[in-house]
Every structure is written in structure tokens, then in C-alpha cells.
Amino acid sequence: MKYLTVMCFVVLWLIASNKSYSQTIIQDPHVQAQQDRMVATQWGNWLPKPKYFLGIQTNIHYTLTWGIFAPSRNRSYKRGADIRPLSVTGEQTQRMALNERLKEINSAYKTIADSTGETALSELQYNSGLISEGDPMWLIYYKKELKPVTNYNLNEAVATLSNEELSSMMDCGTIEWYDNEMLRLKERLNSILTSNMERSSRIMAYHRILVEYRLVGNKWNSNIETANFSMAISDGRGNLSPVIGGDAAAGFSQWDTDSDYRIMESIMLNTKIK
């Protein structure tokens, strides 16, 4: 009980001591006016204000703060422009407005960058060589038409030729020409499939290679027929039926040096009769 009484007295003493040493808040209107001028509230309210008696200024505080005995910087400050940093035209207000404008510009640039990125990604599926073989036009048409080019092999190309045809075409350089042309087309096609380009340009390149491949194929078949014709002549047996018709073959086998003369004479006679 004695201990509790002592503790109560100690607590009351502490409360009284704290009250006696607490600070008193001073409301100075002059300081408040200066604080208002330093931020954004208002520019003016120049305290202390002058007091006049019989036209004479009698407030010594005004004289020492803003009057003739005040420092020149005080008088310049009072007569000067509004320098509040948070005023409508203040430096801090301008900085904040500039920051907001920069945020809008950054947001616009970000929108443009995002749009450009999305456009690039959307175009990548059409332009990238990595996925060119997934193009519908390639899968539906050009893959089948250009399969002889993509899977070209010289041994398979000459496998259907007879030994005589192969020997004749090798002698005249047709085999080497055909191999070079097909390898060139195959290399170009592989380059088109793996390169990055616009889809329309890629399809046009497919078509050009297809046209060239058909021209090479036609010339290859023509060379095979020419080889057969040459072998038929070199046989010396007059058997030209694989190349030309029976009547023509018979006429060709019976041709001699006087045949042209007889043909021309017959034509002239028929012309005179008519």
C-alpha cells in the first residue's frame, strides 16, 4: 500500500513537470504573412503595416522592416515581382507542369512503341524465314510444284535415261548444263525459304523459280528427243520411227542429191498448169 502511494505521487509529479516545461505556440501574423509569400497562398500582406499620425509614419517596426531604414534587399523584395515558387507562374509550378507534359510525351512514345512492336510481331509471321514453310500458298501449291527442285538429285534425274541417251547427252554437255541449272534453282529456292522478306515478294520469287524450272524442264525434254534423233541417224539403219512418222522416215531414208531438183521441177510444172 505504501509502495502504491509513492508511485501515484511520482506520476503526478511527472505530469506537473511536463506541463510546466511544455512550449507555448506563438501565433505571429508577421511570420505567417512571410510563410504565405514563400509558398503559394498570396503575395502581399506586408506586415507590419505603416501607421500615420498627422501624415507622419509612426510605426517604427514598419520603418525598420520596409521603410527608409530597412535593408535595401527588403525594399527590393517588396517592390519586386511575385517570386512564390508555387504561384501560377512560379518556378516550381512550371517544373511540375513540365513534368506532367513530359509524362504525356512519354506515354505517347510508349503507345507508339507498343503499336510498332505489335505491328512488327504481326508482320513477323508473314516475313520471317523461320516459318515461311507454313505459308498457306506454299503448302497448297508451290510446295508440290517445286518438289522436283527441293528434292533434286542428279542420279534420280538420269535414272530414266538409257545408257545410249546418257552417253550422248554427256558428250554434248547437256547433263552438266541440267545439273548446274537445277542446283542454281535449288540454291535460290532455299535462300528464299530462309530469308526474311515480305510475303508478296516471297510468293513472286516462288513463281519466278517455277517458271524457270518449267523452261529448264522443257529444254531438258527437248534435249532428250534430240539425243534420240541423233542416235537414230547414227544407227545407219534408217529406223527413224521413234522420232518422225513412217512416211516421213521412209522419205528421209530415200533422199538423195537429186531429190531437191525433182521436187522443184514438180512444183514449177504444177504452177504452170494452174
The series of mean pLDDT values per 10 residues for the chain, 274 residues long, is 64 59 72 80 81 85 85 85 81 91 94 86 72 82 91 88 84 89 93 85 91 93 84 60 46 57 69 50
C-alpha cell recorded at residue 49: 503595416
Distance of alpha carbon 236 from alpha carbon 252, whole angstroms: 12
CA dihedral 68, 71, 77, 78 (to 10 degrees): -20
Among 121, 130, 144, 127, which residue's Cα sits nearest to residue 200? 127
Predicted model pTM: 0.47
Residue 53: beta bridge partners?
A: 56
CA distances from 164 to 120, 216, 230 (A): 57, 22, 11
